[in-house]
Amino acid sequence: MKNKKRMVSIFGCLVILGLIYVGFLQFKISQYSHLEAPKNADYVIVLGARVKGTVPSLAFASRINAAAEYLNKNSHTIVIASGGKGSGEDISEAETIKRVLVKQGISETRIILEDRSTDTYENIEFSKKLIPSDAKIGLVVTNKFHLYRAISIARDRGLDVQGLPAKTPWKAVLKSYSREYLAITKFYLKRYLLD
């Protein structure tokens, strides 16, 4: 009986600690989800996401649309379209970004393709090499749930960027945030324990 009570107590403590941790992660995400992007940035990096054939997922389309809106208002800003070609994707995520941006009136001469990356770490690492040497103000464009981790990774790699948050479609909220909690945990482990 004592063992059972002890197990219930331990389980209860773990649940409470888990809820506190998720609350902390949600707080960090929300801190970055309402950022105001500065005008006339020198460059924006649009982070890739899932493509079904040649069609961007809803969350990915939201990123590209946010970038297009910004680029149409800031005509001197260039864009680095970042993302390789994964399974089930007929074209790279970078090419997907380019096609949608061109359809929305962005000149191809403003678009630089980074089409090798397979995750956020590589998005940042490979895109960093394509930034013009005289560029100073940069933005990372991604969904609100992903912005905290993306900016943290960029800054860890010596890239001082700000964020341009894109909406997360309601349909994708539960899955996206659940996955992001795990991804942030992995990021913390890598940053504080493995490095």
At 135, the amino acid letter reads A
Q: Read off φ and ψ for residue 149, nearest 5 degrees.
A: -70, -40
Q: Can you give the pTM of this predicted structure?
A: 0.89
- Percent of the chain whose pLDDT exceeds 70: 98
Which residue, among 143, 148, 144, has the nearest Cα to 185 in the 3D structure?
148
User: Domain extents for the chain?
Assistant: 31-194
In the three-class reduction of DSSP (H, G, I as helix; E, B as strand; rest coil), residue 14 is classed as helix
The pLDDT, as a whole number, for residue 43 is 97
Q: Is the pLDDT of residue 22 over 80?
A: yes
The pLDDT, as a whole number, for residue 1 is 63
Give yes or no for a contact between 74 and 63, defined as CB atoms under 8 angstroms apart: no
Q: Is the pLDDT of residue 195 over 60?
A: no
Which residues, 6+ apart, have CB-to-CB distance to 50 below 8 Å? 56, 57, 59, 60, 86, 89
Q: Residue 114 to residues 6, 36, 47: CA-CA distances in angstroms?
A: 54, 25, 10
Rounded Cα distance between 150 and 70, Å, is 19
Cα R_g (the chain), whole angstroms: 19
Least confident of 32-41, 55-64, 72-81, 86-95: 32-41
Question: pLDDT averaged over the chain?
Answer: 92
The pLDDT, as a whole number, for residue 120 is 95
> Domain 31-194 is classified in which CATH homologous superfamily?
HUPs (3.40.50.620)
Task: Give the tens place of pLDDT for each residue, 137-191.
Answer: 999 999 999 999 999 999 999 999 999 999 988 888 888 999 999 999 999 998 8
